[in-house]
């Protein structure tokens, strides 16, 4: 996804989060993959803790304005206590960290209809006191019957 085509959530302490693609249309049962890009727009580097893919971000997936149930795999990975980050990625000013997630492995997206997804990341404030929450833009996923 080109930088120009990204849609960003609101900045928080010069950090932004983009979720894409902005509009997806998939058949029921098809894998649903999204791309997450975290960007440091600040003047100083920032630490971005990395652990397991599903524990790096909080996924807020809704279907008809209701939370989407987890798959068996999703129950396992999201209900397992998080461990300390195994890796700290340091992002220089202007640098981005991009990852992809197949959300249909964690959430049961078998029901046709309109889904909305927003993702957030909590990390230490630049001051070192407390945490901040960086929230992505919201995307729409349309699941259609075969």
**Residue 18, CA atoms < 13 Å, CB-side half-sphere:** 19
Tokens of 60: 């807020």
For 25-34, 76-85, 93-102, 132-141, which range has the lowest pLDDT when averaged over its residues? 76-85
Burial group, residue 61, by CB count within 10 angstroms (0-12, 13-18, 19+): buried
Give the pLDDT confidence score for residue 49 in this predicted structure. 81
**Residue pair 82/55 in contact by the 8 Å Cβ criterion:** yes
Give the pLDDT confidence score for residue 25 in this predicted structure. 94
Give the pLDDT confidence score for residue 1 in this predicted structure. 43
Q: How far apart are CA 28 and CA 100, in angstroms?
A: 20
Give the pLDDT confidence score for residue 2 in this predicted structure. 44
Which CATH fold would you assign to the domain 3-144? Immunoglobulin-like (2.60.40)
Going by pLDDT thresholds of 50, 70 and 90, the confidence category of residue 84 is low
**Residue pair 38/93 in contact by the 8 Å Cβ criterion:** no
% pLDDT > 70, the chain: 92
Going by pLDDT thresholds of 50, 70 and 90, the confidence category of residue 124 is confident
How many degrees, rounded to 5, is the angle at CA 16 between CA 34 and CA 43? 140
E strands of the chain, at which residues?
Answer: 15-20, 23-27, 33-40, 46-50, 58-63, 66-67, 87-91, 96-102, 113-124, 131-135, 139-144
Say yes or no to pLDDT of 79 above 90. no
Write down the domain spans for the chain: 3-144
pTM check: above 0.75: yes
Per-residue pLDDT tens digits for 19-52: 999 889 999 989 999 999 999 999 999 988 887 6
Q: How many CB atoms lie within 10 A of CB 43?
A: 9
Q: How far apart are CA 8 and CA 53, in angstroms?
A: 20
Give the pLDDT confidence score for residue 37 in this predicted structure. 94
């Amino acid at each position: 996804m080109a930088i120009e085509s990204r849609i960003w959530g609101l900045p928080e302490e010069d950090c932004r989060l983009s979720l894409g693609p902005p509009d997806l249309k998939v058949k029921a049962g098809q894998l649903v993959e999204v791309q997450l890009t975290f960007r440091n727009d600040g003047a100083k580097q920032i630490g971005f803790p990395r652990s397991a893919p599903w524990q790096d971000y909080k996924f807020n997936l809704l279907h008809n304005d209701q939370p989407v149930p987890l798959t068996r795999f999703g129950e396992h990975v999201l209900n397992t206590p998080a461990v300390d980050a195994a890796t700290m990625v340091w992002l220089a000013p202007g640098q981005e960290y991009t990852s992809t997630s197949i959300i249909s492995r964690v959430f049961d997206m078998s029901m046709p209809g309109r889904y909305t997804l927003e993702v957030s990341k909590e990390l230490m404030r630049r001051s070192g006191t407390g945490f901040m929450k960086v929230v992505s833009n919201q995307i729409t996923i349309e699941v259609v019957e075969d």
